[in-house]
Amino acid sequence: MSVDAIIEIEDLTFFRGDRKIFDHFSLKIPRNKITAIMGPSGTGKTTLLKLIAGQLKPDGGRILVNGEDVQKLSRTALYQMRQSLGMLFQSGALLTDLNVYDNVAFPLREHTDLSEALIRPLVLMKLQAVGLRGAQQLKPSELSGGMARRVALARAMVLDPEMIFYDEPFVGQDPITMGVLVSLIKKMSDSLQNLTSVVVSHDVDEVLSIADFVCVMSQGKVVAEGEKAALQASDSPFVKQFLKGLPDGPVPYHYPAKPYLEDVIEGAVS
Query: Could you read off the pLDDT of 88-130 as tens digits, one per residue?
Result: 876 668 888 999 999 999 999 988 899 999 999 999 998 988 8
CA dist., res. 103 & res. 110, Å (int): 11
Longest dimension (CA), the chain: 74
Q: Does domain 5-84+162-269 have CATH number 3.40.50.300?
A: yes
Domain ranges for the chain: 5-84+162-269, 92-160
- Under 8 Å between Cβ of 247 and 257: no
DSSP class of 142? G
**Predicted confidence pLDDT, tens digits, the chain (270 residues):** 456 889 999 999 998 888 888 888 999 999 999 999 987 777 788 889 899 998 889 999 999 999 899 999 898 898 888 888 888 876 668 888 999 999 999 999 988 899 999 999 999 998 988 888 998 999 999 988 888 888 988 998 888 889 999 888 877 777 887 888 888 888 888 877 788 999 988 777 888 888 899 888 877 788 888 887 777 777 777 777 777 665 655 555 556 677 777 777 776 655
What pLDDT was estimated at residue 1?
A: 46
- Give the predicted TM-score (pTM) of the model: 0.81
CB contact at 8 A, 250 and 218? yes
